[in-house]
Structure formats: C-alpha cells, structure tokens
Amino acid sequence: MDYKSYIAKKLNIEGVDENTIASFLEVPPTSDMGDFALPCFKLAKILRSSPVKIAEDLANGFAVDNVILSCSAVNGYLNFKINRNGFAKSVIAEVLSKGDLYGSDDIGSGKTICIDYSSVNIAKPFHIGHLSTTVIGGALCKILKFLGYKVVGINHLGDYGTQFGKLIVAFKKWSSKEAVIEGRLKELNRIYVKFHEEAKVDPSLDDEARRYFKLIEEGDKESNELFNLFKEITLNEVEKIYKMLNVSFDSYAGESFYNDKMAPVIEELKEKNLLKESDGASVVDLSEYDMPPCLILKSDGSSLYATRDIAAAEYRKTTYDFYKCLYVVAYQQNLHFKQVFKVLELMGKPWAKDLIHVAYGMVSLESGAMSTRSGNVILLEDVLNTAIEKAYGIIDEKNPALKDKEKIARAVGTGAVIFGALCNNKIKDIVFSYDRVLSFEGETCPYIQYTVARCNSVLNKFAYNGEFSAEDLNSEEYEVISTIARFSETVKSAAEKYEPSFIARFALDLATAFNKFYIDNKIGDENALIRNKRLAITKAVKSTLTNALTLLGIETVEQM
C-alpha cells in the first residue's frame, strides 16, 4: 500500500493538500526512529507556528489504527511506526515484481533535461581532473532517465581557441603526421608542453600561434586538416575511457559549433542596450548585481567562453525545449555561470531560471594542482588500468580458480575509481591518492560488489520458491527491509539535489545491513518458512544494490 498517502489522508491538515503532505514524509535513516517521519519545519510557514508545536498538536490529534501503530512528536518531527508485517510484505513484493525497475518513477514524463558534462579539450589528455564531471554527469543522466525524464547528454567539447594554433606550430616544428598517429594523445601532449617551454624563451611563438588559429577560423585547408586530425585522435582515444566508465553522449557539439551562432546574440545584446564598451572591449555591466562585468567581446572583436555559452543556451532551448539545463562544471566557474545566467535573464529569457550550475570540487595531486601546460597530470586511462591490475591481483590471490577473472577485475577496478569520485558530497575537493582510490577495504565499491556476489552465491545454493512470510521478523531482517524501502526516496532526493553520493551512501548502508543480517542469521534454515523469508530478502537486496550501482555507472559481478 501507499503508506505516505495513507498517513497524509489521516493527518488531514487544513490548508495543506494530501499530495503535499505525502511529499514531505521521509523514511528515517534508522528504523528505531520510526518508519516514516514528517519534518514539521516544512509546515511552519504555512501554519504560522513552530515545528515543535505543530508536531505536538498533530500527534495529539492523530488516531492510530491497525496500519499506523503509533504517532509521536520528537523535536519538531512527527514520527510514525507502522504495522511492520504488512509493510515488509509490501516492500518485498514490490522489489521482486519490479526487478530492475524498482526505485524508478515517471515523475519526469514529458520533460527534457539537458546535461552538459565531461567537456574534454581536444588534443589534451583525459586526466584525473576530468573524472568528477564525467562520472557525476553520467550518473545524473542515468538517475534522471530512471525517473522518466528525457535526458540529452552533451559533451561541450573544448575545440576552439589559440591552443590549436599553438599545437599546429608545435606540430610543424617538433613532430610529424606519422608521430602523431602513432603516439596519439601522448604525442600531442608532449608537443603542447614543449611549446610552452619554448615560448618562455621565444615569445614570437605566441604570435605565430595566434596567426594559425586565425587561419583555422578563416577556413584555411591545411590548418583545418590538422585541427580535424587532432580532433579525430582525441575523440577516438576518449571514447575508450567513456566505454570503461559506462558513459555516453547524445551530442558532441563543442565551442566551434557555435562560431556562426554568436553574431545574433551580440546583435540582440546591442538591441536591448545591454552591451557597453570598456577599454575597447564589449561587456554587460553587472555591477548592480554585485558582479564584475561579463566580457562578451575582446578589444580585437574575438569571442569568449561567455559569448559561446550564451549562444549554446539559446540553441539548446530552441532545439530541445528543456525543462532544466544542467552544467556539471567545477565550482571555480561559479562566477562565470552566475554572469552568463544573469545576462540571459537581462535579455528577457524566462527560461534563464532553468539553467543550473551543478558545481563540484576540484581534483589535485598530492604534489599540488595539475597543469596540462607543464605536463603535471595523471592520465585517467592509467588510473583505470592500474585499478584493474590491482583488482586482478587481489582476485587471483584469493580465488585463483575463479572463472572470468579479467572481466571481474575490470568491473571491480573501474567501479572502485567511479565510486571513489561519487561516494562523498560532490562539492568536496579531492586530493587524488592511488592508495585511497584503489583500497579494497572499508566503505568501498568492491565491498558492495562483493555483497551482490554473496547474495548471488546464496541464491544459487538454495532454491527460492517465491513465497514470503512477514511473520516474526527479527531486528536484522526488518533493518534490511526498511533500508530497501528508502531506495525510491533516495533516488528522488539524488535527482532533486543533483547529488549521486546519496545513492552511493545508500548502497553502503544496505550492504552493511545485509552483511550483519547474513552473519547473524542462518539463511538456509531447516524451517521452510524462515528459509524462504530470508531468501526473499536476499533476492531483494541483490536487485536493489544492482539498481543502485547501475545508476552510478558501475557494473555488478555474479561472483568474486
């Protein structure tokens, strides 16, 4: 049954409709706090009273029954305890009937969400600094699709700017087509680093680079052939990484795609008297909003990131008519997106409010910040391959006779790296450490994957007949079931807050609850009712953990 709707109807709060009350109800983090809770601070403004008093008044007027066994007020929360047998039966029945759709919803039906993420730079290495945007964006795509939204994943390629002029100069001076085809991104990175070293001694190289970029813009055949070669090599290389991370895109429209779409934006800004001159450059004055001016055109008339992002937002609204457009970009770009969103608002775009910067923390090395120019980077491919090798070594040591060790090691190694980037709040900075990311102990992805494999081993050992009795549930059994019941709410919260870590933490909670249950209870009990009850719980855990990891872009394994 729908317990939230049932409770909301019984509460019957004047001035608040039942659907709103139901949406406010939460599943507490532990079952000893109750089975459902109403945070009354959400009602304080509507009812013009303190959360503590609202909770007390509602508790005093609530009539318990054989479904809701108790209602109590605790520090501004209204906590409900339900008939756990009926609840457990409904949760298990729902998980086993829905399978890989358990936790899904259709709340996003008919709505499109664009997600701009990863956004790799052409001819630059795909390093560990790109990990967060790629796996956060990839997880959000999967989570929002799971809730019924139409999702458009956009890789806004960094394929515009003087760095391509620098690469052509470097290519002509210190490389060859054969060397680039053979060395691929490593060779392009080598000559890019060398350019900056040489430019310190010979600044005229920068002038030469600007000249070559201008030739690209003007359509020069040779320059564009080289640029397209660099782009093709980059996309082929990064596609291997995307495949390992279970990430895909619907659009690779990068900065250069908007080259012919900026003129109408500039014209509109002029028509609306938003464009001002400042030291020869064209800007939008945002001092009224406590922001520095948004630079639209340089003094030489060339565009900037803001110009292209404004044009891209216009194009995406026209093309996809999005409900929301998310930008998964590091928090260092907070000001940039505030400026861009404010300029679009001043241009009279009512949908400017639907543009959302999903900020995340930066990744740095233990030795300091990374820099492509200096060559101080850790390649993401190297990180993933190292993780896979380490996983293989552990698996081979513990279970040398295991079949498909390479395939399992790949799932465990890549899962460890993805989970390491998603298990904490996205805004938190990460200092990258091989030891921590590749640890196979504690609160890690391999621990969750092993739990799934453990469930599978149990289900292979004992035949489950499809029955489930909710009678005489012990505390460990109920803790597992009540944790499973939190999944749907967790998925919605992760989508609402753009926070995949909610699902990662949920998976850890469920794995921990199941392993305690597994240790303290004999699943293959001689009593058929008890055995089938515990097998049903095991099957539900496997299904729910698989769904949770799938939403994060992580594969499960049948055995480890």
pTM for this predicted structure: 0.90
Q: What is the per-residue DSSP string for 306-317?
A: HHHHHHHHHHHH
Considering the four listed CATH numbers 1.20.1440.130, 3.40.50.620, 3.40.50.300, 3.30.70.3270, the one that applies to the domain covering 112-159+249-364 is: 3.40.50.620
| pLDDT of the residue at 366 | 67
Cβ(511)–Cβ(560) under 8 Å? no
Residue 537 CB contacts under 8 Å (≥ 6 apart), including other chains: 92, 477, 480, 481, 517
Residue 67's region, left for phi above 0, alpha for psi from -120 to 50, else beta, is alpha
Kindly indicate the confidence band of residue 39, based on its pLDDT and cuts at 50, 70 and 90. very high
Cβ(44)–Cβ(51) under 8 Å? yes
Alpha carbons within 13 angstroms on the beta-carbon side of residue 398 total 12
* pLDDT at 371 exceeding the cut of 60: no
How is residue 430 written in tokens? 């990460």
| pLDDT of the residue at 367 | 61
* Dihedral over Cα of 204, 209, 214, 218: its sign: positive
Per-residue pLDDT of 459-501, as tens digits, reads: 999 999 999 998 889 999 999 999 999 999 899 999 999 999 9
Q: Any bridge partners for residue 258, and if so which?
A: none
Give me the residue spans of the domains in the chain: 3-82, 112-159+249-364, 163-246
Kindly indicate the confidence band of residue 138, based on its pLDDT and cuts at 50, 70 and 90. very high
| Position 519, amino acid | I
Strand, helix or coil for residue 404: coil
Angle ∠(518,519,520) on CA atoms, nearest 5? 95
Kindly indicate the confidence band of residue 205, based on its pLDDT and cuts at 50, 70 and 90. very high
CA 73, chain centre distance (Å): 36
CA 395 vs CA 220, 432, 542, 553: distances in Å = 54, 24, 21, 22
Kindly indicate the confidence band of residue 126, based on its pLDDT and cuts at 50, 70 and 90. confident
Per-residue pLDDT of 292-333, as tens digits, reads: 999 999 887 778 899 999 999 999 999 999 999 999 999 999
How is residue 139 written in tokens? 């997880």
Angle ∠(442,483,29) on CA atoms, nearest 5? 85
Kindly indicate the confidence band of residue 127, based on its pLDDT and cuts at 50, 70 and 90. confident
- Stretch 427-441: mean pLDDT, rounded? 73
| pLDDT of the residue at 72 | 94
Strands 324-330 and 355-360 turn out to be parallel
- For the chain, give the percent of residues with pLDDT over 90: 74
Kindly indicate the confidence band of residue 370, based on its pLDDT and cuts at 50, 70 and 90. low
CATH of span 3-82: 3.30.1360.70
Kindly indicate the confidence band of residue 5, based on its pLDDT and cuts at 50, 70 and 90. very high
Per-residue pLDDT of 218-264, as tens digits, reads: 889 999 999 999 999 999 989 999 999 999 999 999 998 998 899 99
| pLDDT of the residue at 539 | 98
Residue 555 CB contacts under 8 Å (≥ 6 apart), including other chains: 246, 411, 414, 415, 549
